[in-house]
Every structure is written in C-alpha cells, then in structure tokens.
Structure 1
C-alpha cells in the first residue's frame, strides 16, 4: 500500500485546479518561441512594409493630409528612390532616433546608483522597516518605484520580496509573487521618471510628428497619471493578496528548504551610514534644482514662465542622470564600492554595456520607422482609420478599450515594450490624434496594456527568472504554478488601472506637465 506525501498531494490538487491555465501558458510559450528575435522581427516587418507599399503605390492610393490639406500618396519602398533613401539615411536614422541618446544619458547615471549597491540598499531598507501589517503594500509600492533600476529591478526586488515576507512571519512564496507582479504588471506606473519613460516619449514623438511636425512628448508627459497609478496598483495588490492569494493552501516552502541559506535583509552600519549620506545628497540637489527652477524669471523656464515647455523639461533626462549618478557616487565612496571618483566612468560604461542589446534593437527600429514615414503609409492608414471610426461614430471610450485589448494581446507575445510600441505607435498615435486624442493619452493607454499581461506570460525572460526564485522555496514549481499566482493580481490590476484611466479622462485631469488628457 502506497501513501502520498502532503506536498505531493498539494501539487496534484494544484494541477487539478489549474489545467486551463497550464495549457494556456504552454500554448503562449510555444507561439512566442516561434517568433524571431525582435531585431529580425523589425527587418521582416520592413520587408512586409516594402511589399505593401509597392502594391498600394501601384494602385495609386492617397489621402488628403489634415495638417496642410495636401494630397499624400503612398510611395514604393522598393523603388529606386526608396532604396536610395534606405541606404543614404541608415546612419542618420539611427543617430537621430529620439530615444537613443536620451536613454544612454539616463542609464549612465542610473548605472552608478545600481552598481555601487545604492538602489539595492534603499530597497532593503524600504521593505525591512515596515510593520507586518504593511509589508504587502510596501513591497508592492516599491515594485512600482524600482523601475528606476530598469531590468535590475527584477534581480534586486523579487528575492527581497521573499525575504521581507519571511522576516515578518509570512510566506516567502507570497513575497516573491507580490514583488514580481508589482514590477511586471506595474512596470509603466513608476512615480519616479524611469529610462522607459524616455524611450516611450521618443517613440511617441516620432509617431505624432506624422501629423504635427512640432509635437514633442516629454519623458514626464504621463507623470501625474503614473503617480496615481502606482498608489492604486499597490493598493489593489494588497487587497487581492489579502482576499485571494493569502487563502491558498499551497504557500508553504518545501520542508527540506534551508531558509537561512537564502539570505536576509541585513545592512551593515557602514552601508546604513552611506545610504543616509546619499539621501542627504539627493535632498540637497533637489533643493538646488527647485531654487533654480521655481523663481518666475528662471532661465530654465520657458516662454511666459512656462515649466511645461521649458529648457528644464527638455533636459530632464540629464537631470535624472545627475541625481542618480551623484547619489550613487556618494554611496559608493562611503562603502568602498568606489575607490575614487575615477571609478565612476567605468560603472557608467558597464551600464551602457548592459544596454547594448537594446541599442542594437534600436538600430532596426529606427530603420523601420524611417521607412514607414517615407512611404507615407502612416498618413494613409491614420487618415483612413480615423475616417472609418468617425463615420461609424464610435465613442472614444470604446476606441480606447479596443486599443487596450489589442495591445494587451500583442504584449503576451511581444514582451519588449519598446518593440511593441515602435510597431503600434506609428498607426495608433496619428489615428487618435485625428480624432482629437493627444499623443500623451494614447501613450497612457499603451502603458496599461504593456504592463498588465506581463506578469502572466512565460515569454518574458523575467517570468522565467522569477520562477527560478520561486523554485528556491518550491523545487517542483513550474510555469503554471507561477502563472496561477500572478493571474488574479494581473487581472485586478489591469481592470482597476483601466477604470482609473477612464476616470482621469472623464475629469480632464492633465496626465503630466503640459500634457492635457483631452
């Protein structure tokens, strides 16, 4: 007679409860694995673009531009002029791609703060100094804030989530799930401007200029909305964890796991002193920036004393880089992570090296967007789509929901936010602009779609990374296991975030400085 262990029984029960989720995740994984690397995906799209432009140009397809009322015809990318353009402008397309220089500048500063250990230390302090009753909200909110560290947020905070929950007597498995989901499904809701904000703003600007050549979308164009979103999402995670996840019977680690070997939240006295010094440095720099920007006659203000359109916001990427770089230097010098300020350029270079795959992808994206612009397909598709929606008298909220649903589905397979937005923005941004929707508003909708489904798709490399952290506590955990934990949180976050957007839009609250929602 054989008997099953309680752990095996729990795993069998889990498989019985979640067959659909497991099968669905398997289908998603196989479909996603069939897609080429995003670099090659954009060259394939460029070839498709060329074929489509040749067909439409041959058919004489054209529209009347709403900006200057001139006739705009589709141009054949495979024509002599098209091939000459593609060859002669390749370097300029890359050099002038809006997000590229900005992201490099921001990353140089963030890299110093991350590689000296300052960001990790701040996160440890953030999750270790809260009472047990507030640990879920603290980890969840820190997950939205952690995006200033870009992809390093996953590496730093996900294991810390498990440690923080264990420190207050709660399940470390639950801590890992909360930390991972708050980062993945709240990725574009950071209350602090992040490298992603600069990337998205650059892509949105390029798309918007298909309609209006004078449009510039800033990195803080969704800042007000992001602040509210981060607080809302942290609250939703807290409530869903309490009402749903905490009641699951399978939250105990495997009995043979040595929890003491996994780590702790301890910081040395030297590290704590360094954090205080770095935070005081940050506070001092913020006071200096405020003293320069706030006076009405400040040279960093724009025409008429405007801050929304000003040299300050134009240079916000450099300001962010300086703030992170300075605080990271102070922390590193105090802890010994930096032997001297001469080590700082090395950390900056390491940060840029880490961004090399993104910069390579940017080259392909820049070419695709340039081709798309030259063929005039963006103008034609935008005008045709806007006319169709206008004639059908589709209400704006329905259009928003359609866009959100489409992008959410695409995000399950194309998990790179910059890649997905580069594909979608040249059509969606101009189309909605012709329906009187500002580009910043379309970008806000994209943020929700780009984040919501990320926590449940195994196509994200960070999903697999989080699964690895989870397997420290449950060795036989699989894709379906992690997806079953994250699914309720991801759904609740997407629904409530969408409702917040509609409330924001209905009330007409600006999305950020100089960025009206309507």
Structure 2
C-alpha cells in the first residue's frame, strides 16, 4: 500500500491551514487542563481579593431570609490546598464520567475484540443494491459509533472497496462513511459510550452548583435518533449530488492500490454468520431481561413509592449496566459462535485489553476531574453562571437563539480541540448551570453541544483519525492530499451544521422530549 504523505506534510494554506498551524501549537489536552488549572488558581486569588460574589439562586440565608451570597474563594487558601492533596484520590475516583465509561467499555471492548462490530458492519453493507449503497454506508457508519475505533478502521476503508466494486468512485465511499462515522458522531439509534461519557461530565458540572441532579444516559435518546434521520439524507445528497460528480469517474491508473484483495472485503464465513445469529439472541435476551426487571414482579427498576416524575429513576440509572451486559453477552455469544473465544480466560483477557485502551483516557480524566473540582471549590462556576444568566436574560434572547450560539461556539472550538470529552469538560462547568438558571435543562445543553461538536469533526486536521482517512484515500489516488480531503469534507460539514441547527430550533420551539424523562426546559 502506497502511503505517500508528501501533500499532507506540506500542509495547506488559507483558513484550514491557519487552523492546522494554530491547533498544532496547542498542548496535549492533558497539559491543556494543567495550564488551565494554573490560570484558574490565579483568577481565583484575584477574584477573592476583589470580593467577587453572586447570590445563590436556590439557597436561602436563614438569618436574613434572602438568597445566600456566595463569594469567590482562593484556591491557595489553606482549606483548598489541603483539599487538593488530601482528597486527590477521591477527586479522581468520584469523577462521574469515569465510572460510566469504564463500565460500558468493559462490555464494548469485548464486542470489539471478538470481531462482532467489524463483522456486523461488513454484513450490513456488502450486498446492498447500488441505489441504496450511499444511505446504507452512512447509516451503518452512524450506528457504528457504538463500536468506537472499529467504525473508523473497518467501515471507512471497506466503503471505498465496495463503492469501487459497484463501479463508483471509491473516495466518494470513503467520504460518505467518514461523514457518517465522524460528522454524525452523536447521531445514533441507541445511546452508547459517548452518552455515558458526556452525561457523566454534565452531571459533574451540575454538581458544582446544584445538588440532586442525576445523569440519565438515555437523556438524549430521542434527539440523537432524530439526528440520525435528519443527517442521513443530508450526507446522501452531498455524496451523490456534490462530491461524486466533482470527483468524476474513477481512473484505476491513479490508484496506489485497488485494495481488491483487502481482508475487510472478504465474504462472511459460516462461523461469522453463526456468531451474528448468537449475538442477536443475546441482545434479545438482555432486552427481555431488562423488560422483566421493569414490569415484572416487584418492579425492581421502578420506584413505585416515589413521585410520578421520579418512579423511572432506577431504570434510567441502570442503563449504564444494561449496555455493559448487552455488549458483554453479545460479544461472548458472537465469539463462541465465530470461534474467536475459546474459554472464559479469553473473555477476561479481552476485558483487560479494553481497560488498556483506556489508559490515555484515565490520564485525561485525572486532569479533567481536578479542573472541574477546583472550579467548584473556587465558586467561580456559580458566580459566572449567575452573572452570565443575568446578562443573557437581559438580552431577551429566546431559548433557540441561546442554543444556536452554543452550537456555533462548540463547532468553532472543535477546530482546535479534537477530544469531545475534553471540550465538554472545559465548557460544561459554566454553560450547563448558566442554562439551567435560564430554564434550559442539562440534557438540552448536552444535545446542543453534540450538534456543534460533530459538524466540524470532519474538516479539522487535528481530528485524531484525519491522517488515517487521508491514507485510506491515497490507497486509491496517491496525489490526494490534506487539502483535497478537507475540501471534500467541507460541504458535509456545512450541511450537517445547518441541518443540526434547524433540527435544534425545531426541537426547542415544539418542546419535544429529548429522551425518556428528559425535556428541553428545566424548572429550578
């Protein structure tokens, strides 16, 4: 395979070139949090010295009967210094996203390693009619987000091979799959790992100001399902009507390698088909088990003694465990059928490997946990949220306009900081409480962030898989450079941003539910 990267190494000019150069100057997200913590310490000292404060919106001072005044606290105070060093293990291990992600990945890592995700994606796109090839690739790409890295490594190069076999331009297939997997990063028919990660950060951000909020991993379920059906025709149209005509007819003489013998294009074996059948039965079993726990005798996942609004709380909280069991049993069932698991020792090794893959995330979570915690200790999160809410309230902007601005900010920030969790950990501690004070729910704030985050994933060279996609393209056209890839993906980015904004406005204006028990608006 020819992996010439001369064009990529030369970079590009214009706006995208400026993004690439500016973003490359930023430190790794782990150290970005370290520098932000140092800046936060300095700001907290200055704010404490100048008496910066705000009235807490929900806490009443019993002596005066008025809202309690919260003042900025220096992070160099004796109390906060002691809290930093004494509570360091607690600060890290009690970081909400950590437990959610580790539990889900214990199961998802097994499903990925046994080959379930890759085989399912191959089965989904191999024998599709030519007329439905683009939408099928895009839909499998969006659903493939549940498989994390597997969607990038398996589906995107496979899409190029299948498009070529169908007499279409292979780079159009790669572009469509990339837009589905990465542009539609938050779109899906089911909640998954990303929901656990983002809602963990949302819960931690709410806790810096308010008590009593518990994250619901299904809090964006209806919204992300809606995104799937909105984004699908957009990516389909851009691929078939804009990108493929621009690419023209594929000339095999330009191909660095056709990839016709690529392992990812081989037919499914009988063992793999048996594994997929076993996995299907395992999925039905888990769905039936959770249904029984919800409506069966004793209703263990329904709190019948609670108020009507809180009765479903145990069910929502159990969804993290549900996805762990779902991925684990489906992976195990597939592995036994396909012959990729021999005994329970293989299963344990795969679960261990899934934790090894999270090594970088653990380091990042350690830094993010302390940034979020120290932001709370300084009281700056509450103060900024209160004063920011007061300012925005004075502008009389409707909710849809506020959320539109958040989407645009998220999409711009995404050009410089590629990690979805790092960006959300940076802005959520202020954004989520501020929007709550304006009557917008944490679930809606998270949904708006997701729209902006996904739209520009596919045009920033700082996206971790961008160089890999470039290499996939160069397998078919060796002179396809970084600028060529960015220009190819730009129409998708614009289309996804516009359609995502329109969908968000539509959702807010009609006040549609975002997921089970999750609404657009929030009452303090």
TM-score by length of 1: 0.93
- Determine if the alignment matches structure 1 residue 359 to structure 2 residue 362: yes
Correspondence for 2:416: 413
The number of residue pairs the alignment matches comes to: 502
What SS does structure 2 have at the residue aligned with 1:66?
strand
What CA distance in whole angstroms lies between the structure 2 residues aligned with 1:124 and 1:76?
55
| Structure 2 equivalent of residue 66 of structure 1 | 57
1:262 maps to what in 2? 262
Is 1:510–2:508 an aligned residue pair?
no
Which residue of 2 is the match for residue 52 of structure 1?
43
Paired residue for 2:216? 218
Q: Give the match for residue 283 of structure 1.
A: 284
Structure 2 equivalent of residue 476 of structure 1? 479
Q: Say whether the 8 Å CA contact 1:102–1:198 is kept in structure 2.
A: yes
Deviation at 1:123, TM superposition (A): 0.3
Aligned to 2:117: 119
Partner of residue 7, structure 1: none
Helix, strand or coil for the counterpart of 1:473? coil
Aligned equivalent of 1:23: 14
* 2:295 alignment counterpart: 294
Q: Distance in 2 between matches of 1:441 and 1:285?
A: 29
Q: Distance in 2 between matches of 1:251 and 1:391?
A: 56
- Mark the CA change 1:248 to 1:238 in structure 2 (over 3 Å): closer, same or farther: same
Task: Determine the C-alpha separation between the residues in 1 that align with 2:259 and 2:100.
Answer: 42
Partner residue of 2:154 out of 132, 135, 156: 156
Rounded to whole Å, the distance in 2 between the matches of 1:345 and 1:427 is 40
Q: 1:168-219: per-residue Cα shift (whole Å, max 9, x none)?
A: 2222111111111111111011222111111110111111223420011211
Q: Is the 8 A contact 1:22 1:479 kept in 2?
A: no
> SS in structure 2 opposite 1:461?
coil
More deviation, 243-252/474-483: 243-252
Given that residues 275 and 338 in structure 2 are in contact (C-alpha distance below 8 angstroms), is that contact kept between their aligned partners in structure 1? yes
Are 1:173 and 1:251, in contact at CA under 8 Å, matched by a contact in 2? no
Quote the residue 1:454 is aligned against.
Answer: 457
**Maintained 8 Å contact 1:57/1:76:** yes
* Corresponding residue of 2:503: 500
Write out per-residue CA displacement over residues 5-31 of structure 1, whole angstroms, 9 at most, x where no aligned residue.
Answer: xxxxxxxxx9xxxxx985322211111
Q: Which moved more, 1:193-202 or 1:251-260?
A: 251-260
Q: CA deviation at 1:250?
A: 4.4
**Counterpart position of 1:107:** 105
Contact 1:204 1:443 in 2 (8 A): yes
SS at match of 1:496: helix
Distance 1:273 1:307, change over 3 A: farther
- Indicate the residue corresponding to 2:443 in structure 1: 440
Contact 2:332 2:347 in 1 (8 A): yes
Structure 2 counterparts to residues 1-400 of structure 1, below 5 A:
22-68=13-59, 69-250=67-248, 252=250, 254-255=252-253, 256=255, 257-263=257-263, 264-295=265-296, 298-302=299-303, 303=306, 309-400=312-403
Q: CA offsets, 1:101-146, max 9 Å, x none? A: 1111110100111100011000001111321111111111111111
Q: Secondary structure at the match of 2:516?
A: coil
User: For structure 1, which runs of at least 5 residues remain unmatched after alignment?
Assistant: 1-13, 15-19
Gaps of 5+ in 2: 1-6, 60-66
Deviations 1:413-437, CA, capped at 9 Å, x for gaps = 1010000000000011111111111
Report Cα offsets for 1:476-505 as digits up to 9, x if no partner: 211111111111011101111111111111
Q: What secondary structure does 2:54 align onto?
A: strand
| Post-superposition offset of 1:269 | 1.7
Match of 1:5 in 2: none
Q: What do you get for the CA RMSD once the two structures are aligned?
A: 2.0
**Cα distance in 1, alignment partners of residues 395 and 125 from structure 2:** 51
Structure 2: distance between partners of 1:228 and 1:296: 34
SS at match of 1:248: helix
Q: Is the contact made by 1:109 and 1:322 (CA closer than 8 Å) also made in structure 2?
A: yes
Deviations 1:358-380 (A, max 9, x none): 11100000001010000000011
For 2:101 and 2:291, the matched residues in 1 are separated by 24
Which range moves more in the overlay, 284-293 or 349-358?
284-293
**1: CA distance between counterparts of 2:421 and 2:330?**
28
Aligned partners of 2:311 and 2:245: how far apart in 1? 47
Q: Match of 2:432?
A: 429
